[in-house]
Structure 1
């Protein structure tokens, strides 16, 4: 009799566990429990609050890690974004911000906790703001995020992961090369770099900061883009070239607006993820305030794109992202992808109501 009772209890518990697993897999997390996929949550430009030129930092309720959207963001193998500025409590600004053509930020070091608590595993430092406060600022950034378990990405700083038995790396590119960024403009050089890493890693992810900026920069063009006289690269040519060289996923940022997406030779390319969390100092007018979290599934067998789940966002007047029930970013991404890239994306939209509270 005791054996029968034990068998019944064991079978009952097994059924309950199976039902729970199936229930969770049905909630926008297809593949999350499957060893065949790499799941990466990707966001765009992130500036957590600044102590320069004036102090503007979020109150506790609006700090990144306290936002409901973090539940979706953090549920991935890798959480990645672009860190738009140094994390430092010191340093001298190296930009002439009085010209009106340059902006500088300096995030207090305590705000680095927000990235860690939100689940970030890697952040790009290959951009035009990472050295706003020179070497002091960027070295502080690297130090502060590294001690919180977040890997810097850009140039010689390559994020490395061992996920489900596969070696994964993230490379960072920007128009002007340094030890903190590989060159976006040297396309042949970029191909050689990607090819060399593909020989050592199963999955190679390329992050780039490029293209013009602002509302007029939503549309993709197959030519070099200029912004205030700077060459910001031909991002379509760059993205296609690095995929040809072996990249499995390409993530763009920098224009501060969403741009189209496509699947090229089986690999997913997002040309600009827009502004994610940009506290004060940034325009929150349309379309700069429309953004998204993209959760991308990549096959660990061949590096090919499997699916993308999108959480549509809209920033409030302070640049804090909130769930956008109108799903404006979905409509915008579809429109831009079709018109600029002749690609019709098939997005899975996350359960918005579940993430409102």
Structure 2
């Protein structure tokens, strides 16, 4: 047998190095469209008119069109599951015709890890996946085990292979997926990143809380002078010192390590990798991301991600460009069509309604009021179009959209391009939210434009 020369062996090693590379490898002109939450209860392409048609045309022009699917898809007449006692705040459901309609809109990549993934149990999760698979839409974030839920899923495009890793920091506790352990089988559900919430108080207020904690009959001794733990029969609240009252979050180290590993593995088998996070923290009221999220986004991009897309607060948050990659801290709502039916008995009870006299729409309206979703900020967002040249973000365009808040209940929630005054207001708000990240957003003909400074490739 002839042994390879050192020169040939070196070339062979170089080839194998490239196989496992985390570098980006898309053709010039690669375009990613990313939007926020798809809360949609019915097919929309047939009857929404020219305003929606213009956006659909835009969605079809990209190599990748991504959104977060925050609903279940099945036919209640043949559905074998049931609404769960623990649900994500509302029972989101849509007809099977939504599958081909999402494809007709232009969506080819969807995240599914969120707090509504198991509103209708494992059966709803599985049926939704079947509908998406039948329509050729790639999706990630849920699965029969944690390994399946966390795994990257792949979309083939003419400009490169795209990986998607989807996880959630906001999820119902019983929806969290798990892997087998010994004889115990795995559990179907959501790919989750658990967060430990800590309340932050100035030192004087913290001392007052410490005195309260010391008076409780079941005290939790904690030696850290900068922390107070208030422990009870069914709860444990951790407080720490800070400049002002607020919330702080610490990511579970095991969950984070597994997510970063899945990102690396996804990028090794793809040319481009998108990572998405569905989280409400610190609350839907906040226009600022949580304190943990910037370092998380940076670490994911360092680990191979080409874009970080967050959703969940249902309103816009800032945009950052890090190492030539876009970070969207929240893209708000893209479709907020909340005509949900059927509504489970638990939701009727939660809003003081009676299924014998009140309707599903009555409950939905009450839920919107309870959560404050009638405010204009939840009906304004952007369609983001990221164009890559030489494997770096060359330009990011932001198209402001209006979700028809002023329409009657049956017609609101579907996007159209915002009017000139509204577009200006949306972009000015996004400029302010992005300023702390060093992001400059120019305005050109009612469109936001971000052009990153040219740098050497990663």
Same fold, TM-score > 0.5, yes or no: yes
Q: Deviations over 1:19-78 (max 9, x none)?
A: xxxxxxxxxxxxxxx94132111111112216xxxxxx8695238996331111221011
Matched, 1:293 2:279: no
Query: Post-superposition shift, 1:149?
Result: 1.3
**Cα distance between partner residues in 1 of 2:56 and 2:191:** 30
Shift in alpha-carbon separation, 1:78–1:165, aligned structure 2, 3 A: closer
Shift of 1:208: 1.2
**The residue matched to 1:218 in structure 2 has which SS?**
coil
Deviation per residue, 1:195-232 (Å, 9 max, x gap): 2222222211111112327652211242xxxxxxxxxx
1:342 aligns to 2:450 (yes or no): no
Residue 277 of structure 1 deviates from its aligned partner by: 0.6
Cα distance in 2 between the residues matched to 1:271 and 1:202: 23
Where in structure 2 are there 5+ consecutive unaligned residues?
A: 1-25, 142-148, 178-187, 195-254, 339-363, 406-411, 449-458
Aligned twin of 2:36: 44
How far apart are 1:243 and its partner, in Å? 0.8
Give the CA deviation at 1:320.
Answer: 1.5
SS of 1:307 mapped into structure 2: strand
d(CA) in 2 for partners of 1:68 and 1:288? 21
Offset, 1:324: 0.8
Pick from 75, 93, 102: which aligns with 2:83?
A: 93
| Closer/same/farther in 2, CA of residues 38 and 148 from structure 1, 3 Å limit | same
Match of 1:182 in 2: 191
Structure 1 equivalent of residue 288 of structure 2: 219
Determine the structure 2 residue equivalent to 1:171.
Answer: 165
For residues 349 and 182 of structure 1, the distance between their equivalents in structure 2, rounded to whole angstroms, comes to 40
Q: Name the SS of the counterpart of 2:93 in structure 1.
A: coil
Aligned-pair CA distance for 1:102: 1.8
Contact 2:67–2:109, Cα closer than 8 Å, also in 1: yes
* Superposition pairs of residues 43-62 of structure 1, within 5 angstroms: 43-49=35-41, 60-62=46-48
**Contact in 1 for aligned 2:308/2:327 (Cα 8 Å):** yes
Q: Distance in 2 between matches of 1:150 and 1:330?
A: 31
Q: d(CA) in 1 for partners of 2:157 and 2:62? A: 11
Q: Check 1:351–1:263 CA distance in 2 against 1; reply closer, same or farther (3 A cut).
A: closer
Once the two structures are superposed, what CA deviation does each residue of 1:282-304 show, in whole Å capped at 9, x if it has no partner?
524221111111111134x43x2
Is the contact between residue 253 and residue 274 of structure 1 (CA under 8 Å) also seen in structure 2? yes
- What CA distance in whole angstroms lies between the structure 2 residues aligned with 1:314 and 1:254? 18
The question of whether the paired residues in 2 share the 8 Å contact of 1:120 and 1:150 is answered with yes
Question: What residue number does 2:18 align with?
Answer: none
1:260 aligns with 2:318: yes
Corresponding position of 1:7? none
CA 1:150–1:257: 2 relative to 1, 3 Å: same
> How far did 1:121 drift?
0.4
Match of 1:82 among 61, 65, 68: 68
CA distance 1:349–1:209, change in 2 (3 Å)? farther
1:121/1:262 CA distance change after superposition, 3 Å: same
1-structure distance, mates of 2:93, 2:49: 16
Alignment gaps of 5+ in structure 1? 1-33, 51-56, 223-233, 353-357
Task: Write the deviation string for residues 298-339 of structure 1: whole angstroms up to 9, x where unpaired.
Answer: 34x43x222112211111132121211221322221110014
Contact kept, 8 Å, 1:49 with 1:278, in 2: the verdict is no
* Aligned twin of 1:18: none
Matches within 5 A, 1:202-351: 202-212=271-281, 216-222=285-291, 234-280=292-338, 281=364, 283-299=373-389, 301-302=390-391, 304-317=392-405, 318-325=412-419, 326-327=422-423, 328-339=425-436, 341-346=437-442
Q: Tell me, what secondary structure is at the counterpart of 2:289?
A: coil
**Alignment match, 1:16:** none
SS in 2 for 1:130: coil
TM-score for both structures, normalised by structure 1: 0.75
Contact kept? 2:117, 2:190, Cα under 8 Å: no
Whether 1:125 aligns to 2:112 is yes
Q: How many residues are matched? A: 296
Instruction: Compare CA radii of gyration and give the structure with the larger one.
Output: 2
> CA RMSD for the aligned pairs?
2.8
Question: How far apart, CA to CA, are the structure 1 residues paired with 2:49 and 2:130?
Answer: 21
Q: 1:151 aligns with which of 138, 163, 168?
A: 138
Task: Quote the residue 2:353 is aligned against.
Answer: none
Q: Secondary structure at the match of 2:123?
A: helix
TM-score relative to the length of structure 2:
0.59
